[in-house]
């Protein structure tokens, strides 16, 4: 694991920043995120969207005033999460960073997208003084052994992908050795990419995955932008006021292309940039001294979470790749149900027949039977619902609370909620919105108030506690006018209003409660209680714990290490169990840190130190060579390991003995130790 010292997350508002801080603190307290990483969540506080570069500038300017050391000595991850997720309003209205994912875990906190960001960069080979910028709405993983140590002042990362995929991203054009960047294209058509950016011999192009590595020298130059004087004040003030925005992937990256002059720079960015020529000239002057480099990653996974359809694809990809998280255990207690047709997680007591050959995603659902899902569906938040009607392909349902009951949001995986009816052609439930209204004898005035923005986020579409028959009218054309009359007279909410009635914190708590029930059921059925943390165990059994059943499971435990682990859990939830039979040997997992000696940090580089130190000896066996299996049930494999601080610093030679004892010999010290029973393992008895 490679630790970076700071993770900065940018958000669009202080209210979202506050929720993100609470969710991160919760995960640190549960031991999922390393406490050594300083998490900082900054809101843009800009009147308008500042752009990816503007958000980065605002965040780094703020961090530079708070930090206690120079950028040269730091390793910083910046995640741009500045925008609300308008294309996935039901699943992650506050942005995709805490969108739940179907991954194995022993925690009662659901795996989320942020976990995968940390997963990637905790294995990344950081350089001192390096800062990495990453968008929040991607899922990425790649082979770190292929990452070059020398990356220059600005370096991007790419994957080999189709020209059609490249048309919605940035694309690098490499030289023939694929080491230098010749050109950079941002969201251009597939034909242009085929002609100008093809990777030789592949029929594909190098798609930018949005991750950028910056040296401390580049970061300091970037911060100079904050103090650039413009007519209306400094550049930072202009960004903060909403008078300008800065696109890092357009204005900044283009300026760093090798050999580009200002005239060509201006032509490349002018049609999409919101900055005037004077400002562009100043930006070019600062960054034209840097040269963009990039790497083509190997064995890469890349998903872009823009729509609900993207989310389904990402869930399938995670399962195909069998993604593991940095906090995973050898045995994970809570696992999603995954097949080619159904991915169900954070859910229990479900009955969903398969056989439609397209994926159905079920999340945060309890006690439901849904008979006829035709595929490409996302079902979220439902409780106690039985439905035997047909739910067409692509239709999604989410249940949300409101003041007077519950509301079922119905949408399609292809709907786009940000598009205004005045400037585009939004869809609802997979159909043209105007056609959807016409089929139900409705008009736009029935949906929006006089002052409402005319997009789907503000459309008053969803009724309280509607019947199943009425609900089906969202995806099938109702006969007659009864449905439309009932719709007009009903109390209705927009997605925007429903978002204000519940938060991402509420949804996270609901997932936690469901996962506690799953963990409890696993433990009581004898299938778990192997790697769950004490805090998760205590929370799951906080109300009327079945002490007798738990004690029976404990007493039937044959593995001594596992028995000690379970004993500590039981003693933590009830004083009645303090007289439990002790395992065969004692393990102290609660050492007082005050009693530990303080070591002097005076060792010089390249100096050889000779010292006595304890080595860890692990023995395990059974049907496989993986702990924690034992030999008690007929296994015939023994696994023996000696290490120091999880590294093998000593040469180990093993021989089989006739007697059922363990003999340890130190060749250099001439010492020997014989272990014939569990008492010999007592640290106070050993040699």
- Express each pLDDT in 94-110 by its tens digit: 789 999 999 999 999 99
Question: Cα separations (Å) of 6 from 16, 53, 90, 136, 494?
Answer: 20, 19, 31, 16, 38
Per the domain annotation, does 318 fall within a domain?
no
> For residues 396 and 429, is the Cβ–Cβ distance under 8 A?
no
- Write down the mean pLDDT value for the chain: 86
Give the relative orientation of helices 51-66 and 216-223 as an angle to the nearest 10 degrees. Answer: 100
And the tokens for 525? Answer: 């059925």
Per the domain annotation, does 405 fall within a domain?
yes
Q: What tens digit of pLDDT does each residue of 594-619 get? A: 555 555 555 555 555 566 666 777 76
Are 339 and 280 in the same domain? no
Are 157 and 284 in the same domain? yes
Helix H or strand E encompassing 471: helix 468-472
Where residue 84 falls among pLDDT bands split at 50, 70, 90? Answer: low
Are 335 and 402 in the same domain? yes
What pLDDT score does 599 carry? 52
Are 291 and 328 in the same domain? no
And the tokens for 414? Answer: 């292809």
Mean pLDDT (whole number) for 631-648: 59
Per the domain annotation, does 651 fall within a domain?
no
Per the domain annotation, does 363 fall within a domain?
yes
Are 470 and 350 in the same domain? yes
Query: For residue 201, with 0-12 CB atoms within 10 Å meaning exposed, 13-18 middle and 19 or more buried, which class applies?
Result: exposed
Where residue 162 falls among pLDDT bands split at 50, 70, 90? Answer: very high
Are 352 and 493 in the same domain? yes
Are 363 and 416 in the same domain? yes
> For residues 362 and 377, is the Cβ–Cβ distance under 8 A?
no
Are 415 and 343 in the same domain? yes
And the tokens for 676? Answer: 């014939």
> For residues 256 and 155, is the Cβ–Cβ distance under 8 A?
no
Q: Which residue has the higher pLDDT, 591 or 69?
A: 69
Are 349 and 487 in the same domain? yes
Q: Is the pTM of this model over 0.85?
A: no
Domain span including residue 478 = 324-501
Are 370 and 223 in the same domain? no
Where residue 241 falls among pLDDT bands split at 50, 70, 90? Answer: confident
Q: Structural domain tally of the chain?
A: 3
What pLDDT score does 626 carry? 47
Are 478 and 358 in the same domain? yes
> For residues 566 and 577, is the Cβ–Cβ distance under 8 A?
no
Strand partners, 408: 399
What pLDDT score does 625 carry? 45
Per the domain annotation, does 262 fall within a domain?
yes
Per the domain annotation, does 333 fall within a domain?
yes
Rounded distance between C-alpha atoms, residue 571 and residue 348, angstroms: 29
Are 291 and 330 in the same domain? no
Q: What tens digit of pLDDT does each residue of 263-272 get? A: 999 999 988 8
Q: Which residue has the higher pLDDT, 240 or 622?
A: 240
Rounded distance between C-alpha atoms, residue 478 and residue 598, angstroms: 76
Collapse the DSSP code of 442 into the 3-class scheme (helix H, G, I; strand E, B; otherwise coil) and give the result. coil
And the tokens for 268? Answer: 């490349």
Per the domain annotation, does 179 fall within a domain?
yes
What pLDDT score does 376 carry? 93
Mean pLDDT (whole number) for 20-43: 95
Structural domain ending residue among the three candidates 592, 623, 651: 592
Q: What tens digit of pLDDT does each residue of 351-364 get? A: 998 776 789 999 99
Structural domain ending residue among the three candidates 241, 276, 296: 296
Per the domain annotation, does 184 fall within a domain?
yes
Exposure on the CB side of residue 560, measured as CA atoms within 13 A: 14
Nearest Cα to Cα of residue 285 among 251, 328, 319, 242: 251
Q: Lowest-pLDDT range, 45-59, 119-133, 273-287, 537-551?
A: 45-59
Cis peptide before 228 (omega within 30 of 0): no
Structural domain ending residue among the three candidates 478, 501, 524: 501
And the tokens for 321? Answer: 């790749």
Which residue is listed with tokens 């945060």? 364
């Amino acid at each position: 694991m490679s630790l970076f010292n700071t993770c900065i997350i940018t958000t669009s508002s202080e209210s979202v920043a506050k929720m993100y801080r609470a969710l991160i603190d919760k995960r640190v307290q549960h031991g999922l995120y390393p406490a050594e990483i300083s998490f900082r969540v900054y809101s843009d506080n800009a009147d308008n969207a500042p752009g990816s570069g503007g958000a980065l500038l605002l965040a780094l300017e703020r961090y530079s005033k708070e930090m206690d050391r120079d950028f040269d000595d730091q390793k910083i991850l910046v995640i741009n999460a500045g925008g609300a997720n308008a294309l996935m309003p039901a699943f992650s209205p506050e942005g995709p960073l805490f969108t739940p994912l179907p991954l194995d875990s022993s925690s009662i906190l659901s795996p989320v997208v942020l976990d995968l960001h940390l997963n990637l960069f905790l294995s990344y080979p950081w350089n001192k003084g390096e800062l990495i910028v990453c968008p929040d709405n991607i899922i990425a993983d790649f082979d770190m052994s292929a990452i070059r140590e020398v990356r220059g002042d600005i370096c991007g990362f790419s994957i080999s992908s189709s020209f059609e995929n490249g048309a919605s991203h940035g694309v690098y054009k490499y030289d023939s050795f694929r080491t230098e960047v010749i050109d950079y294209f941002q969201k251009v058509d597939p034909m242009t990419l085929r002609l100008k950016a093809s990777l030789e011999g592949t029929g594909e192009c190098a798609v930018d995955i949005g991750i950028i590595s910056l040296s401390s020298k580049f970061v300091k130059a970037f911060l100079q932008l904050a103090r650039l004087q413009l007519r209306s004040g400094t550049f930072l003030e202009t960004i903060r006021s909403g008078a300008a925005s800065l696109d890092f992937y357009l204005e900044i990256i283009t300026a760093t292309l090798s050999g580009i002059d200002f005239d060509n720079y201006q032509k490349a960015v002018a049609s999409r940039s919101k900055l005037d020529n004077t400002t562009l000239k100043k930006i070019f002057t600062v960054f034209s001294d840097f040269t963009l480099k990039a790497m083509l990653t190997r064995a890469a996974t890349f998903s872009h979470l823009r729509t609900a359809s993207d989310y389904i694809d990402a869930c399938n990809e995670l399962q195909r790749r069998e993604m593991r998280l940095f906090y995973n255990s050898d045995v994970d207690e809570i696992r999603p149900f995954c097949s080619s047709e159904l991915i169900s997680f954070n859910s229990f007591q479900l009955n969903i027949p398969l056989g439609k050959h397209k994926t159905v995603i079920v999340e945060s659902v309890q006690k439901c039977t849904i008979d006829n899902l035709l595929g490409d569906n996302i079902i979220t938040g439902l409780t106690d619902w039985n439905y035997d009607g047909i739910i067409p392909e692509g239709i999604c349902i989410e249940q949300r609370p409101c003041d007077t009951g519950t509301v079922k949001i119905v949408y399609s995986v292809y709907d786009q909620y940000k598009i205004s009816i005045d400037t585009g052609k939004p869809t609802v439930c997979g159909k043209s919105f105007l056609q959807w209204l016409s089929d139900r004898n409705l008009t736009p005035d029935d949906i929006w108030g006089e002052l409402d923005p005319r997009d789907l986020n503000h459309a008053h579409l969803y009724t309280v506690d509607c019947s199943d028959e009425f609900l089906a009218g969202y995806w099938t054309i109702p006969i007659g006018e009864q449905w439309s009359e009932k719709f007009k007279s009903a109390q209705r909410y927009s997605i925007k209003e429903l978002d204000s009635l519940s938060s991402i914190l509420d949804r996270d708590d609901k997932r936690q409660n469901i996962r506690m029930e799953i963990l409890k059921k696993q433990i009581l059925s004898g299938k778990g209680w192997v790697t769950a943390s004490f805090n998760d165990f205590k929370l799951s059994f906080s109300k009327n714990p079945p002490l007798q059943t738990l004690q029976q499971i404990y007493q039937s435990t044959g593995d001594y290490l596992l028995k000690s682990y379970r004993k500590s859990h039981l003693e933590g939830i009830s004083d009645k169990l303090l007289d439990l039979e002790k395992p065969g040997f004692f393990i102290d997992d609660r050492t007082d840190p005050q009693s530990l000696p303080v070591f002097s940090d005076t060792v010089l580089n390249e100096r050889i130190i000779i010292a006595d130190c304890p080595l860890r000896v692990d023995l395990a066996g059974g049907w496989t060579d993986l702990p924690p299996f034992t030999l008690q049930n007929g296994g015939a494999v023994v696994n023996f390991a000696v290490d120091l601080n999880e590294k093998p610093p000593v040469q180990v030679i093993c021989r089989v003995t006739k007697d059922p004892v363990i003999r340890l010999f130190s060749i250099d010290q001439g010492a020997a130790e014989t272990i014939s029973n569990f008492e010999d393992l007592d640290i106070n008895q050993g040699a």
